[in-house]
Amino acid sequence: MSAVLRSWSDWPINDCGELLKRVPDSLYCLEPHPYLSLGAPYGSNSDPWRLRESVLVRLGEAQKLLQTDYPQLRFGIYDAWRPIAVQAFMVDFTIKKECRLKGVDLNDEFDLFELKKITEEVQKFWAPPSIDRSNPPPHSTGGAIDLTIIDLQSHQLDMGGVIDQIGEISYPNYYSSFSINHPNSNEYLWNQRRNLLSSVMEKVGFSQHPNEWWHFSYGDQLWAWKNAYATAIYGSCDPADNNEMIC
């Protein structure tokens, strides 16, 4: 089935050669890792808690901004770098999960239309596992991060929807219109929290995925497209291709 066209898919890439580095202890990673727990094929040498150097620096700056006004809060990192094999695994897993939820039989030819609709909806959130180096999935570049806000006891704040949830509820501004006239509602609180997350991330140079309140990019094609930069500075990055982990 054809992939959903993304506005940034053909944006030029001129990789700057930054290293992948492990997320430091100052940033909290939510364990166990959600995709490792599902059996995603990271391989023995593929640590998912890695990002490009500049991404980690900016994440640290964003967390400091958050804690300036909310010292009781910090980031909870959900996912970071993701190899192509894991992207393929998770796309397949998500399509099958959505089919189960909607009662669609993958092997029934009469359900092909519903399967197509589900696949297209999933592709709004999960980039295709492309091996084309001119169009890598954002997470495979080391420039994309999925995160939320947690308290100092590591409890995730309710954001009005869980990470990786398929559907419009995951759009960053999903609660915006309703919350305007309902300041005492849960929807207002969820909208405020989503706005807080996007605000601190964007202040240090990240760009938010248009369909995902939790996804932010720096350096990849999405980031370059949203900022109208001439090129992305991060392309596909796999330490298995280089023992020195230079991308």
- 228: CATH: 3.30.1380.10
Q: Please count the structural domains in the chain.
A: 1
Backbone torsions φ then ψ of 61, nearest 5 degrees: -65, -40
Query: Is 90 a domain residue?
Result: yes
109 catalytic residue (yes or no): no
In the chain, helix, strand, coil percent, each to 5?
35, 15, 50
Do the domain assignments include residue 215?
Answer: yes
Sign of the four-CA dihedral 14, 17, 23, 26: negative
**pLDDT digits (tens), the chain, 247 positions:** 445 568 898 999 999 999 999 999 999 999 999 999 999 999 876 789 999 999 999 999 999 999 999 999 999 999 999 999 999 999 999 999 999 999 998 887 778 899 999 999 999 999 999 999 999 999 999 999 999 999 999 999 999 999 999 999 999 999 999 999 999 999 999 999 999 999 999 999 999 999 999 999 999 999 999 999 999 999 998 766 554 444 4
All residues at 6 or more sequence positions from 224 whose CB lies less than 8 Å from its CB, including other chains: 8, 11, 12, 230, 231, 232, 233
Q: Is the dihedral of CA 89, 95, 101, 105 positive or negative?
A: negative
- Domain assignment of residue 247, yes or no: no
**CB–CB of 140/48 below 8 Å?**
no
Residue 67 lies in a domain: yes
Q: Tell me the two tokens of residue 74.
A: 């910090």
Q: How many other CB atoms sit within 10 Å of the CB of residue 202?
A: 14
Q: Does residue 124 form part of some domain?
A: yes
State which residues form the domain around 106: 20-241
Question: 131 lies in a domain?
Answer: yes
**Does 35 map to a domain?**
yes
User: Of 61, 114, 212, 244, which is the active-site residue?
Assistant: 212
pTM for the whole structure: 0.93
Answer whether residue 11 is part of any domain.
Answer: no
Strand partners, 163: none
Spatial neighbors of 144 by CB under 8 A, at least 6 apart, are: 80, 82, 138, 215, 216, 217, 220, 222
